[in-house]
Amino acid sequence: MGKPSYIEQQKRLQVVNQAVSEEERIERARMLEEDIVRQALKQSVLKLNPAVMIKNPIMFAVEIGFFITLVLPFTSLESSMVPAWFNPIVSLVLLFTVLFANFAEALAEGRGKAQANSLKQSKKEIHANLMKSDGTLVKVASTELKKGDIVFVKQGEMIPGDGEVVKGLASVDESAITGESAPVMKEAGGDFSSVTGGTMVVSDELTILITSNPGESFIDKMIALVEGAKRQKTPNEIALHTVLMSLTLIFLIVVVTLPVFTSYLGFELDIAILIALLVCLIPTTIGGLLSAIGIAGMDRVTKFNVLAMSGKAVEAAGDINTIILDKTGTITFGNRMAYTLVPVGEERLDEVAKWSAVSSILDETPEGRSVIDYVQSKAYPYNEAMINGGEFVPFKAETRMSGIDLRDGTKVRKGAVQAIVEWVKEQGGRIPHDTLKKADQIAAEGGTPLAVAVNGHLYGLIYLKDTVKPGMRERFDQLRKMGIKTIMCTGDNPLTAATIAKEAGVDEFIAECKPEDKIEVIKTEQAKGKLVAMTGDGTNDAPALAQADVGLAMNSGTAAAKEAANMIDLDSNPTKIIEVVSIGKQLLMTRGALTTFSIANDIAKYFAIIPAMFMLAIPEMEVLNIMHLHSPISAILSALIFNAIIIPLLIPLAMKGIAYKPMSSNALLRRNLFIYGFGGVVVPFIGIKLIDLIVALFI
C-alpha cells in the first residue's frame, strides 16, 4: 500500500487525546462555573478595600455612604425623624449595593482567569531534542531553550517552544491552543511555517528554529492577555466614565447643599436619608456594571477562539467600516490545488488521470497530494504498484519538473508547461497543437497549468487553482449587510485577481499589491474618517496589520504577522472578523443600552424618594406620592433596595451582551430607546411598588 492521501491522513490523525462524552463536558462546565461564582463571591468582599474601590469612584461614593450610615447610630448626629432601625437597614442595603457591583466585575474577571488557568495547565514540562552545531541531538528541558536554538521533533512528540519550521513537512495537532481537533499542515517556507509550543506533531517530523525565550512564548502571552483583571479601559469607556463621574459630582453638590434649603424652610433631613437620595440619584447601575461589560466583551471574543490584545481592539471592531483582506492563505487556501484535468490532442481523460496520479504518488508537496486527492475523488483508475522499484525525481528549480523513473524504464514527468514541452522535444516526441492554447486559457482564468508527459508523449494538463475557502461569498454578503466594505489585496496579476475576487464575492480588489500598497489603502480609508480592519497571515502583511485599527492575524501565519496584529484568530479563519465585529458592536450596544436604562430608571426613583423625603417634615407633600407607597420610610427603603438588586439582575445581560442584528443606526437607536429607555422607566415603577408592598409588612 502507498502513503495515505492528505485527506485520509487528516482524518486518521485528527485527535490525540481521547474525547470525553457530552455529559462529562457539561458536568465539567457546570463545576467550573460554580467555582467561578464561588471565587467571585470571595473577590466581591476583598474588593471592598477602599484602595481598590477608589478605582470605581461611583461605587466608592456608595461605600463611603455605607461607612457613614454604619457609624451614624453611635454619634450625636443621628436624627429622631426616622426609627432607630432605619440607619442599620440603609447601611446594609448600601453594603449589598457595593457587593453586587463587585460581584459583577469579579465574575467577568473570573472567566478570564479560568481560561488562563487552563492554559497554565497545558504548560507542562516538555523535553526537547536540541540540535548541536555538529548535527548531534541532545535531550534538554524546554525551559532551557532560547531564541536561535534548533530542535528536532518527530511524530508523537510535543513542540517544545514557539518557532519557525526550517526543514520538513508534518501534520500538527494544535487542539491545545485552538480547541480544534483537526491537525494542520506545517512546512518550511511560506506562510504556514509558524509553530506554537505545546502543540503535537502527529505525522512525519520537523526541524524547528526557536523564536522565543523562556516566558515569552505565545502561550505565556495568551495567559497574560486573557486575565481580564489586567485589561486597560478603552477611550470610549473612559469618556463614558467621565460623563458618569460628572453626573455623580453634580448630584453630590445638590445633596450636600440641600440641607441649607431645608434649614431655611424650618426642618432638617436625616443624614441617612441624604445618603439614600445621593445613591439613588447617581448612576450606580451602569457604574457597577461598566467594568464587567468591558471584560465580558473580551471574554466573548476569546470564546470564539480569537485572542484580543486589548479591550480597545474589541471596541474598535464595533465601528469598522472597511476590511482589507490578504488573498493567499486568507481568502484562499494558499496552496495551489488540483481543480481539473485537461486532455490535449486526441488523448483520453482517464489516461491523463492515470499518469497524473503516477507522477504524484511520491510527491509530498501540497500540489502533489491534491492531484492524488482529485483523482481518487473522481474514481479514475490507476495502479499504485507501478511505482514499486521506481526512482522518484524531485522538483528542482532548474528543471521546473518532477516525476518518477519506473522500473521498466518508463519516464513520467509533470511540471511547468514550457519545461515539459522542451523535455518532450528532447525525447523525440511531438507537441499536440492545442497544448499551449489550453495552457494559456487556464492561466487566463487565474489558474496554473502543469503538463504531464510519459516517454516524450504529452498527455494533458493539470489545472491547479488557489481555491477560495468554502462559505466565503456568504460571509462577505453578511459583511455587506452590516455596511462593511471588503477589499482584497493580492500580488497576483489583474486577471487572476479579478477571477478570485468574483468567486469570493468581495466588493473591491487590488492586484499586484505590494506591502506598502496595503498600508496606503488603509491610510486612505482612515483619512476618510473610517475605521479599518486588516486580516492577514504572512510576513508581508505585518506592516498593514500594525497600521490597521483592528489587525486580525491568522494563527497559522508567521510570527511577524502575529506580533504586528492586535488580535489573533486561533482557528485561522479570516471570516471570523464577522464574529469580532458583531462582538464589538455588542459591547458598544450593551454599554449604551445599560446606560440608557440606568438613567431612565432614575425617574421612578425620583418619584419615590424625593416626595417621601419631604413628607417626613411636610405632610402636604403626600400629593406627589403618585405611586401610593406605604410610607415615607418604606418609599426610601424600596427605592434603595431596588437600586441594589437591579445590579445583579442585569449581570447576565452585561455578561452575554445585547443581541446584534444588522440594521441601520437610526433603527437601532429607536429599538434601544424603546426597550431600554421606555423599559427603564416602567420597570422601576413596578419594581419599587412591589418592594414597597413587601417592606410595608415589616414596618
Q: Which residues define the annotated binding site for ATP?
A: 363, 367, 395-402, 414
Q: Can you say whether the dihedral through the CA atoms of 507, 509, 515, 517 is positive or negative?
A: negative
- Which residues are registered as beta bridge partners of 130? 138, 151
C-alpha cell at 95: 453594603
**DSSP string for 544-587:** HHHHSSEEEEETTS-HHHHHH-SEEETT--GGGHHHHHHHHHHH
Residue ranges at the known binding site for Mg(2+): 537, 541
CB 283 within 8 A of CB 59: no
CB 204 within 8 A of CB 146: no
How far is 331 from 350, CA to CA, in rounded Å? 32
* Phi, psi (rounded to 5 degrees) for 456: 80, 10
Q: Are strands 194-195 and 184-187 parallel, antiparallel or unpaired?
A: unpaired
| Angle, CA of 351, 353 and 355, to the nearest 5° | 70
Catalytic residue among 326, 571, 602, 692: 326
Tell me how far apart the terminal alpha carbons of the chain are, to the nearest angstrom: 88
Residue ranges at the known binding site: 363, 367, 395-402, 414, 537, 541
| Angle, CA of 518, 325 and 522, to the nearest 5° | 35
For helices 271-281 and 577-615, angle between their N-to-C axes, nearest 10 degrees = 150
Q: Can you say whether the dihedral through the CA atoms of 468, 470, 475, 477 is positive or negative?
A: positive
Q: Locate cell 497559522: which residue?
A: 556
Residue 326 annotated among the catalytic residues of the structure: yes
Nearest Cα neighbor of 222 from 162, 143, 146 is 162
CA 299 from chain centre, in angstroms, equals 9
**Number of Cβ atoms within 10 Å of the Cβ of 523:** 13
How far is 523 from 548, CA to CA, in rounded Å? 8
C-alpha cell at 673: 430607546
CA 14 from chain centre, in angstroms, equals 23
How far is 139 from 446, CA to CA, in rounded Å? 48
How far is 499 from 616, CA to CA, in rounded Å? 79
CB 166 within 8 A of CB 207: yes
E strand or H helix at 8, and its extent?
A: helix 6-12
C-alpha cell at 247: 453626573
- Which residues are registered as beta bridge partners of 137? 131
E strand or H helix at 426, and its extent?
A: helix 417-426
Active site members: 326
